[in-house]
Amino acid sequence: MKVAPSILGADFLHLEKDINMVSSAADWAHLDIMDGTFVPNISFGFPVVEHIGRICTVPMDAHLMVVHPERWFETLQKLGCSYVSFHLEAAGCKTGKYIKAIHKLGMKAGVAIDPDVPVEKLYKYIGKADFFLIMSVFAGFGGQKFIYEAVDRIIALREQIKKKGASTLIEVDGGVNTQNAVALKDAGADVLVAGSAVFKAEDPAAYIKELQSI
Ligand code: DX5
Ligand code: ZN
């Protein structure tokens, strides 16, 4: 199981310490980019991503919670991101086009959906997207309660991916912790994003290890 700590949960006054910890313990670093329009919150922007990129030694995974995600693909590539996801709700019928644009820049493309978007809407991007990001909370804030329906959505999506013989990864984001991680793994998730659970743990690196070994 891959673990991508959400930097939104990090200690922004000691970001260097947390990025070093993530670099040595985790698989990816998950970066939540919000615009205050697609979601009712603003997190951090590109100058912060640039600084993180200077010291981060694991792949950076940018999660765009913005309208017009396509405006930022090139910037994210220049800042060293390896994985970029955008929301289907923001992209609509341009989803396929955006996946291609991300590929053209040499990055892996992910399509994200909030809990109220039918999972079937992702099926036509199986084999096109490199990964799907299933939100297990409504995008916008860290520290929310895990929505259990995500497990059934992952089971359904995994079944379709298997049926089509594709290798698309499933990443799950929101309220993930050691209590729900087993169900997520059994359902077919490949990457766990965890913010609060990791950074509030007494020993964040040990907590990451625990999630990885599930
Ligand atoms: C929510 C973000 C998540 C969030 C996860 O909009 O996409 O990545 O930071 O944080 P926790 O694990 O605290 O729910
Ligand atoms: Zn996220």
Residue 32 is a catalytic residue:
yes
Question: Would the pTM of this model clear 0.85, i.e. be above it?
Answer: yes
User: Measured from the CB, is residue 63 less than 6 Å from ligand 1?
Assistant: yes
Residue 114 is a catalytic residue:
no
What are the domain boundaries of the chain? 2-212
| 14 contacts 7 by C-beta, under 8 angstroms | no
Mean pLDDT by 10 residues, the chain (214 residues): 98 98 98 98 98 98 98 98 98 98 99 98 98 98 98 98 98 98 98 98 98 97
Q: Which CATH entry fits the domain spanning 2-212: 3.10.20.10, 2.40.50.140, 3.20.20.70, 3.40.50.720? A: 3.20.20.70
List, in sequence order, every beta strand (DSSP E) within the chain: 2-5, 29-34, 60-65, 81-87, 108-113, 131-135, 169-173, 191-194
> What is d(CA 10, CA 198) in angstroms, rounded to the nearest whole number?
9
- Nearest ligand 1 atom, CA 196: 13
Looking at residue 77, its pLDDT comes to 98
Residue for token pair 């990457």: 191
